[in-house]
């Protein structure tokens, strides 16, 4: 039996589709009502005693019979009886049915936990000062059982609620994530503006610790900087840098992923909060993977967009170069990609297009760099060293967005699902690579990076530690730059676009909308 928390019951009775978004897709959002409600709870929930009666706040209870659990705002109890009290910030003067059903659930769970009969509960609305008694009779228990049966049917993917526009939508924190009948796709997939930065730890031997609700970075026993958790998007640890257990706990609590990378930027591992609950979405993802036709369809769109963006990259660079690149052959590969009969032939077309693209890109690179095409593991020249570093950062960024959306990043449509290889993240970054290539060429042409910023070793060419900071700042600025997208009016930052693409892919897999990969306009 799937166990269900009290607040999920409230969400389902309020709106079945909201429950589906939160507890199946794993999409949550705060608004001013939720934030104020938390504040009221923190003020009101205090333990007290008068005579033989006690008031205990934050009581955890559960029922194996009904498969429900959670915390009760407070419990009033004496030697023979007890009842739950649920505090709401609302100014309502009538009892909401979703609040009533939540208290019924709390009452039956309290009864099973204490082993005494609980026949009622209370809902108190702080805004209006109204207090309502809720009966927990047999009729209420039967209604609760029916509600839980429907909720588990949604959890198991047996039934799927449909979104519909009602007056409740106006006060719902998930209204911008929902897809009501007006098909407002743009509103449902465009994330809010992000004003968080990644914390990059490049200094070997540096340690990330915790100070209050901030991360403190220290080296040789001295604190170098402190960064508030609320302004941190992710933590990137390179080489032998480290993080303390309290800092990891803070990161998990604030939903901040901690990424471990090699000194050259290759992804190693990640620590993050629990995987999203969207089992139905992942089942759909696996179903598409088992269908060569459906999987190929998505892969073709991604590669066609990548080749389109490679052409855009060359056109943009031609404007600031004496050499005018030709993208006619790439246009032919673009058309061929959409006609590919299977994934193997699509990989072949992508490979030929990339070979042609890099031969043209090489003409745009400053002459002091011996770049003739893509090579890696390890990179054999300065340009490839920068490409490997940039692509690793990009992959880590997109990997996090896919996981946050509830997708499995290790099962892709085109890249092989080798052990430990985030195939879907590699798929979804393909059409963003040309954007990074232009950034790299501009860094070299503007002399922000020079040949002296690289170290040449027998095993390859690598960026020096000091130069990595310059490169990371350039990458950060690039991801905060705005670009146009076919679904967005105006412009959107790349860092938000990565999240938007993950959401669009979810819509495709769930059959709600078609996934449209980003097409970079010249």
Residue pair 12/4 in contact (Cβ under 8 Å)? The answer is: no
Residue pair 474/439 in contact (Cβ under 8 Å)? The answer is: yes
pLDDT of residue 417: 67
What does each C-alpha distance from 140 to 5, 66, 130, 367 come to in angstroms?
A: 18, 13, 21, 79
Q: Residue 194 has which token pair?
A: 């992000």
What does each C-alpha distance from 43 to 35, 91, 210, 489 come to in angstroms?
A: 13, 17, 27, 43
Distance of CA 231 to the CA centre of its chain: 16
Are β-strands 258-261 and 214-219 bridged in parallel, bridged antiparallel, or unpaired?
Answer: unpaired
Q: Residue 282 has which token pair?
A: 């992942």
Distance of CA 116 to the CA centre of its chain: 44
Distance of CA 131 to the CA centre of its chain: 39
pTM of the entire predicted model: 0.63
User: What confidence tier does 56 reach under pLDDT thresholds 50, 70, 90?
Assistant: confident
pLDDT of residue 139: 95
Q: Residue 131 has which token pair?
A: 């207090």
Residue spans per domain, the chain: 4-182, 197-271, 279-509
pLDDT of residue 106: 94
pLDDT of residue 33: 41
Classify domain 279-509 at the CATH topology level.
Answer: 1.20.120
pLDDT of residue 27: 63
Residue pair 251/278 in contact (Cβ under 8 Å)? The answer is: no
Distance of CA 474 to the CA centre of its chain: 23
pLDDT of residue 277: 56
Q: What are phi and psi of 172, to 5 degrees?
A: -90, 135
> Measured between alpha carbons, how far is 326 from 392 in angstroms, rounded to an integer?
28
pLDDT of residue 47: 55
Helix, strand, coil percentages in the chain from 3-state DSSP, rounded to 5: 45, 20, 35
> Measured between alpha carbons, how far is 453 from 386 in angstroms, rounded to an integer?
11
Reported CATH class of domain 197-271 = alpha beta
**3-class secondary structure per residue, 37-103:** HHHHHHHHCCCEEECCEEEEEEEEEEECCCCEEEEEEEEEECCCCEEEEEEECCCCCCCCHHHHHHH
Q: Residue 77 has which token pair?
A: 């109890």
Q: DSSP letter for 167, please.
A: G
Sign of CA dihedral 508, 512, 516, 518: negative
Residue pair 302/427 in contact (Cβ under 8 Å)? The answer is: yes
Digit-coded pLDDT (tens) for 276-319 = 556 778 888 888 888 888 889 999 999 999 999 999 898 888 87
Classify domain 4-182 at the CATH topology level.
Answer: Lambda Exonuclease; Chain A (3.90.320)
User: What confidence tier does 42 reach under pLDDT thresholds 50, 70, 90?
Assistant: very low
Residue pair 471/397 in contact (Cβ under 8 Å)? The answer is: no
Q: Residue 438 has which token pair?
A: 């232009």
What does each C-alpha distance from 367 to 54, 154, 315, 456 come to in angstroms?
A: 81, 61, 19, 18
Which residues have CB under 8 Å from 11's CB, separation 6+?
A: 18, 19, 22, 23, 98
Q: What are phi and psi of 241, to 5 degrees?
A: -75, 160
Winning range, highest mean pLDDT, from 37-51, 111-125, 200-214, 454-468: 111-125
- Strand runs (DSSP E) across 302-451, as ranges? none
The SS3 call for residue 303 is: helix
Digit-coded pLDDT (tens) for 109-165 = 999 998 888 999 999 998 888 999 999 999 999 999 999 999 988 887 777 787 777
> Measured between alpha carbons, how far is 178 from 159 in angstroms, rounded to an integer?
18
Q: Residue 260 has which token pair?
A: 């471990």
Neighbours of 228 (CB within 10 A): 12
Q: What are phi and psi of 182, to 5 degrees?
A: -75, 0
Rg of the Cα atoms in the chain: 27
Length of the chain: 522
Mean pLDDT, the chain, rounded, equals: 81
pLDDT at 434 over 90: yes
pLDDT at 90 over 60: yes
Closest CA to 492 of 502, 503, 478, 481: 481
* Paired strand residues for 68: 4, 63
pLDDT of residue 300: 92
pLDDT at 388 over 50: yes
Digit-coded pLDDT (tens) for 329-340 = 888 898 899 998
> Measured between alpha carbons, how far is 281 from 275 in angstroms, rounded to an integer?
13
pLDDT at 382 over 90: no
> Left, alpha or beta for 310 (phi > 0: left; psi -120 to 50: alpha)?
alpha
Neighbours of 325 (CB within 10 A): 20
């Amino acid at each position: 039996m799937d166990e269900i928390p009290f607040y999920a019951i409230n969400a389902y009775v309020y709106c079945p589709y909201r429950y589906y978004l939160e507890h199946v897709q794993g999409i949550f959002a705060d608004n001013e009502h939720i934030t104020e409600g938390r504040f009221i709870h923190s003020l009101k929930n205090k333990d007290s005693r008068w005579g033989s009666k006690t008031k205990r706040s934050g009581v955890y209870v559960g029922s194996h019979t009904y498969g429900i659990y959670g915390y009760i705002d407070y419990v009033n109890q004496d030697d023979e009886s007890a009842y739950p009290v649920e505090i709401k910030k609302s100014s309502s003067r009538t009892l909401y049915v979703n609040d009533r059903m939540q208290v019924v659930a709390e009452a039956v769970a309290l009864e099973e936990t204490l082993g005494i009969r609980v026949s009622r509960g209370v809902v108190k609305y702080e805004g209006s000062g109204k207090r309502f008694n809720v009966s927990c009779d047999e009729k209420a228990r039967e209604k609760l059982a029916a509600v839980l049966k429907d909720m588990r049917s949604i959890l198991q993917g047996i039934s799927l609620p449909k979104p519909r526009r009602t007056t409740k939508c106006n006060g719902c924190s998930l209204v911008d994530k929902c897809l009501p009948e007006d098909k407002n796709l743009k509103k449902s997939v465009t994330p809010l503006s992000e004003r968080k930065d990644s914390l990059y730890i490049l200094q070997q031997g540096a340690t990330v610790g915790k100070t209050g609700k901030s991360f403190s970075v220290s080296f040789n026993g001295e604190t170098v900087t402190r960064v508030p958790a609320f302004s941190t998007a992710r933590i990137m640890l390179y080489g032998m840098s480290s993080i303390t257990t309290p800092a990891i706990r803070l990161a998990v609590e604030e939903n901040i992923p901690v990424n471990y990378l090699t000194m050259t930027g290759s992804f190693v591992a990640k620590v993050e909060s629990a995987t999203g609950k969207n089992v139905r979405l992942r089942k759909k993802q696996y179903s598409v993977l088992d269908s060569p036709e459906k999987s190929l369809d998505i892969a073709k769109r991604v590669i066609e967009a990548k080749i389109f963006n490679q052409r855009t990259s060359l056109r943009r660079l031609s404007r600031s170069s004496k050499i005018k690149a030709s993208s006619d052959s790439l246009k032919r590969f673009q058309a061929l990609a959409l006609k590919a009969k299977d994934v193997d032939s699509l990989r072949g077309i992508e490979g030929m297009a990339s070979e042609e693209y890099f031969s043209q890109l090489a003409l745009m690179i400053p002459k002091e760099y011996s770049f003739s095409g893509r090579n890696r593991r390890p990179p054999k020249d300065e340009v490839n060293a920068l490409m490997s570093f940039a692509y690793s950062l990009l992959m880590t960024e997109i990997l996090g967005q896919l996981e946050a959306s509830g997708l499995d990043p290790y099962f892709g449509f085109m890249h092989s699902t080798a052990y430990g290889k985030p195939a879907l993240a590699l798929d979804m970054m393909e059409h963003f690579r040309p954007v990074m290539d232009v950034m790299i060429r501009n860094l070299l042409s503007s002399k922000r990076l020079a040949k002296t910023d690289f170290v040449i070793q027998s095993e390859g060419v690598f960026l020096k530690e000091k130069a990595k900071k310059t490169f990371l700042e350039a990458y950060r600025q690039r991801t905060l730059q705005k670009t146009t997208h076919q679904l967005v009016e105006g412009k959107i930052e790349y860092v938000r676009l990565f999240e938007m693409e993950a959401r669009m892919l979810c819509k495709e897999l769930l059959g709600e909308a078609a996934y449209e990969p980003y097409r970079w306009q010249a």
